[in-house]
Structure formats: C-alpha cells, structure tokens
Structure 1
Amino acid sequence: MGLVFAASLPAQAQPQPQLDLPRTTLGAGMFLIQAQVAQTAEQRATGLMHRREMPPNEGMLFIFERPSIQCFWMKNTLLPLTAAFVADDGTIVNLADMQPQSLDSHCSTKPVRFVLEMHQGWFVRKGIKAGSRLSGAPFETRPAQ
C-alpha cells in the first residue's frame, strides 16, 4: 500500500528559469541584443538561474534604483556568463567573466545602475570592451535625483 501511495506523489518540482520577463532591444555598436529586463528585487535575485540554454544574442539587463557598487555571483547559474557593468549613459565600466555554479563575487569598479549578462565571450568576440557604449531605451532616460 505504501508503494502505491509513494508512486502517486508528484516528483519534487525542479526550479524553473524565469522566461517571461519584459524584453528590450539594446545596441552594442552594430550588434543588437535582445535583453530580458530584471527590474524587481525578486527578478534580479533569480536572474539567469536554472537556464540551460540561451540564444546567442540574448542576455539579461538588471536595472537597479540608484547607482551603487553592484556585485554578482553564479549560484544556481548553469551557463558561463560575462557581466558588463554599465553606467547610466550606457558606457561599459568593466566586464567580468563568471563561471557556472560559482559563489565568487564579481563587482563593478564604479557605482552603476545597470548590469548586462551575456554568454561568456560574447563581448570579446564582438570587440566590445570597457569604455564601449551601449544604446537603447534604458540608457536614454535618467532617474530622478
């Protein structure tokens, strides 16, 4: 009887990636990026966790309320990523390569409101580095001071 009961219990739910976030199109030189936008604390905390795949020109843009030193880790993140720490005007302050499932902290070198995560190596392959400028709606409006 116990076996029948145990077999009828649902398997423990696997954590699911968040795939239903709003999206925006960003520009990086001649390249377009389709970015999911993580703007709430919960969306930012989950980020790209549990994603097993991501299209080549897709990423996630994290938007914070005010500029601050932003630090990221890769807990429960399965894809190797590069984080671009981005100033309000779209200028990339610094880039950090991050390894899957790592608790190492990767931080901006200056206060920023934006962090864009892309596949690791995407920025290098496109010739985009610190000092390059991203374009798109998030960088066209400034927060109220």
Structure 2
Amino acid sequence: MGFSRRILLVGLLSAASLTAACAQKAPVDEAGRALEPLSIVTASGEHRFMVEIADDDAERERGLMYRPPLEADRGMLFQFPAAREQSFWMKNTPSSLDIIYIDPTGRIVSIASHTTPYSEAPVPSNGAANGVLEIRAGRAQEIGAKPGDMVRHSFFRP
C-alpha cells in the first residue's frame, strides 16, 4: 500500500471514530443540561434516576435555585472532594426536596425529608459526607430509602 493510501485510510478511520464518539453523546434534559445515571438500592430494589452533576463551587452554590419541581426520576448530585460534615439550605429554591447525604463508599449517611422551600435554615448531614443528592420531596420515602442504603454512581467507591 502506498504512503498516500495509508494516510487516506488513517484519515477515514479517524473520521469514523469521531463520528461514532459524537453519536454517543451524554443524555441531556429539556434545558440542555447533561445528565448521568444514578441508582439508590433499598430493601424494595434498585431505583434509577438521571442526575445533573454539581462538582464545582459555582454549580454547588447555584444548585436547584429558581428551578421548577423535579420529575420523579431526576435529581442533582453534589460532589465534594473530601468527606466532611455538610450543610445545605433551600435559599431561592421554590420546591421542597429530599436531601440525601452520602459517604465516599456510596452509603447514605442521613436524609432530610421535605425540606422547606426558600428557607435559609441549615440542613446538616449529621455525619461525614462527600456526596449530596437532591431529589423531589417524598421520593426517598416512596422508594424506602434510609441511612445505610447504597447509592450507585461512578463518583462513589464501594
């Protein structure tokens, strides 16, 4: 095979690889925000969610402020670099949420159910957590989630 044919073949293979990679885009919500799969394993089984990721200071500070109520299978996962006592609030958040605090292995530390919209009162984790999952108020109870249950996402290392 001549040099120019090899170059053409390499170029065609590269283009095909790029096309395949573009076709496998991450899922997005209605507003174009990237979503990732997450599941909570409880006594009643595995419950799947699609979540936004808040993994930098600006995203963590904004969270779900000014947003409409979440769908039953949606949420936001806040990721922190180190496990420590966490505390959230509901400032500028118009709908009630369940806030689930998670340790580095994915184990649920605590759950704050039906938080008060717009409240600036702190909602503590009551234990070291490096992950915090916000889901629609009442969902944790609906799926039977409780401290000790597992959250599966690539961020956690069982």
> Per-residue displacement from partner, 1:54-101 (whole Å, max 9, x unpaired)?
221100000011111110000000110010000011100000121101
> Per-residue displacement from partner, 1:15-37 (whole Å, max 9, x unpaired)?
xxxx5544221111221011100
Q: Distance in 2 between matches of 1:107 and 1:23?
A: 26
Question: In structure 1, which of residues 27, 43, 47 is the aligned counterpart of residue 39 of structure 2?
Answer: 27
Give yes or no for contact 2:70–2:135 (8 Å, CA) kept in 1: no
Question: In structure 1, which of residues 70, 84, 89 is the aligned counterpart of residue 105 of structure 2?
Answer: 89
Determine helix, strand or coil for the equivalent of 1:90. coil
Q: Distance in 2 between matches of 1:64 and 1:22?
A: 18
Q: Distance in 1 between matches of 2:142 and 2:104?
A: 24
Amino acid at match of 1:85: Y
1:108 counterpart = 2:125: yes
Deviation at 1:53, TM superposition (A): 2.8
Runs ≥4 residues deviating over 3 A: 19-22
Give yes or no for contact 1:21–1:37 (8 Å, CA) kept in 2: no
For 1:50-89, what aligned pairs fall within 5 Å after superposition?
50-89=66-105
Deviation at 1:47, TM superposition (A): 0.1
Amino acid at match of 1:23: L
Question: Rg: which structure is higher?
Answer: 2
Amino acid at match of 2:40: A
Give yes or no for contact 1:21–1:38 (8 Å, CA) kept in 2: no
Aligned length: 123
Any unmatched runs of 5+ in structure 1?
A: 1-18
Determine helix, strand or coil for the equivalent of 1:93. strand
Q: Cα RMSD over matched residues?
A: 1.4
Determine helix, strand or coil for the equivalent of 2:142. helix
Determine helix, strand or coil for the equivalent of 2:61. helix
Q: Distance in 1 between matches of 2:155 and 2:32?
A: 19
Identity across the alignment (%): 28
1:45 counterpart = 2:57: no
